[in-house]
């Protein structure tokens, strides 16, 4: 995940997933002009790395060129990625990370838009920020977006667990865990946006009857809805109940669930450093996308199967079979552990009831 330049301020963040590209001068200029035309959110610095450069009217063409990543396109038109950072140092402080990609193994590109928390404490400021972001959803042709405070994101994605390093040493490790959009919906937050693809997939009637505080149909064909009166109320019992109700209404099996991951990891830790906590999430329901993705491959499937067998047998599990990419183990308590390796790999543990 690219670094987001927050400038050291407490931010309210929007994360959106998109397949749109800003690879032409027209598209890149449209985005840059949109950012600059909004007086409260116009950035005054830009760049691909620190230190960022001051954004002045004379540098407008330079900004457009950086967003396009013309140099990268000239090197390889079929495999190109662009990440540009913008910062606003006046009040309200803002920071943006705009990404687009044309890579065979990348389904969606995440972009981040942050604004100073104090600005959205005022209902007028919050409404102005939402209006600004709704225009960005259109420009990015966003498929999905979440609106949350960092504390909410951390609570729903951060996990601490025991990890066994290659040399055998066990350490306590804290990391963010989640799921790429092509493998499931990342979660339900204070604010949520589902683009027209997901509206059709879940069914418009599901959103018409969705339990929420507020919902708005946008001119993108997508829907925005909230689960609490303000972003600062995300952790109230009522908000948590509503977030769970949203999952159940749309189908909980489509959403990433950190609590399930935490439980499974606690049951199986220490886990090898080659495995990520999100692999312990049970399979999620995903749509059939109108595109294909070529997952990057490092080790062969046979090598990954052997790694999984060797590790879990070393942890006291008994390998009882291998079918396709899935290795099945029994534990000493009557439980069953299934480890699927390769693209979309996962770990499923069923304790004896």
pLDDT at 282: 80
Determine contact, residues 198/231, Cβ cutoff 8 Å: no
CA nearest 34: which of 100, 131, 181, 132?
132
DSSP one-letter code for 282: P
Q: What are the per-10-residue average pLDDT scores of the chain (353 residues)?
A: 56 97 96 96 92 94 92 74 94 96 91 98 98 98 98 94 89 90 95 98 98 98 98 97 98 94 89 86 90 75 84 81 91 87 81 75
Collapsed DSSP state (helix, strand, coil) of residue 310: helix
Determine contact, residues 146/187, Cβ cutoff 8 Å: yes
148 bridge partner residues: 13
First to last CA, the chain: 39
- Gap between the Cα atoms of 353 and 335, Å rounded: 8
DSSP one-letter code for 141: T
Domain boundaries, the chain: 11-253, 297-350
- Gap between the Cα atoms of 184 and 107, Å rounded: 12
């Amino acid at each position: 995940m690219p670094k987001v330049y927050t400038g050291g301020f407490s931010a309210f963040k929007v994360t959106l997933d998109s397949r749109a590209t800003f690879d032409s001068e027209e598209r890149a200029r449209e985005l840059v002009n949109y950012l600059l035309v909004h007086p409260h959110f116009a950035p005054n610095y830009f760049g691909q790395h620190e230190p960022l450069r001051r954004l002045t009217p004379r540098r407008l063409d330079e900004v457009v060129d950086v967003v396009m990543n013309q140099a990268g396109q000239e090197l390889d038109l079929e495999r190109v990625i662009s990440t540009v950072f913008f910062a606003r140092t006046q009040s309200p402080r803002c920071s943006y990370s705009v990404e687009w990609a044309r890579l065979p193994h990348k389904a969606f590109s995440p972009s981040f838009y942050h604004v100073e928390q104090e600005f959205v404490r005022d209902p007028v400021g919050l409404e102005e920020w939402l209006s600004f972001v709704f225009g960005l959803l259109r420009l990015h042709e966003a498929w999905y977006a979440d609106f949350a405070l960092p504390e909410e994101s951390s609570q729903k994605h951060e996990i601490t667990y025991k990890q066994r390093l290659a040399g055998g040493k066990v350490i306590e490790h804290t990391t963010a865990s989640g799921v790429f959009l092509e493998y499931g919906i990342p979660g339900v937050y204070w604010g949520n946006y589902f683009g027209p693809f997901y509206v059709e997939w879940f069914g418009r009637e599901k959103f018409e009857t969705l339990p929420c505080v507020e919902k708005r149909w946008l001119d993108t064909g997508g829907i925005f809805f909230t689960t609490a009166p303000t972003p600062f109320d995300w952790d109230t019992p009522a908000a948590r109940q509503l977030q769970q109700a949203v999952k159940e209404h749309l189908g909980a099996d489509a959403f990433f669930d950190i609590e399930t991951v935490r439980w499974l990891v606690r049951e199986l830790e220490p886990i090898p450093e080659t495995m990520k906590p999100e692999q312990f999430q049970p399979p999620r329901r995903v749509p059939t996308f109108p595109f294909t993705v070529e997952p990057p491959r490092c080790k062969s499937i046979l090598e990954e199967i052997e790694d999984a067998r060797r590790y879990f047998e070393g942890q006291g599990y008994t390998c009882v079979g291998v079918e396709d990419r899935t290795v099945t183990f029994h534990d000493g308590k009557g439980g069953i552990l299934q480890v699927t390796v390769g693209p979309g790999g996962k770990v499923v543990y069923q304790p004896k009831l």
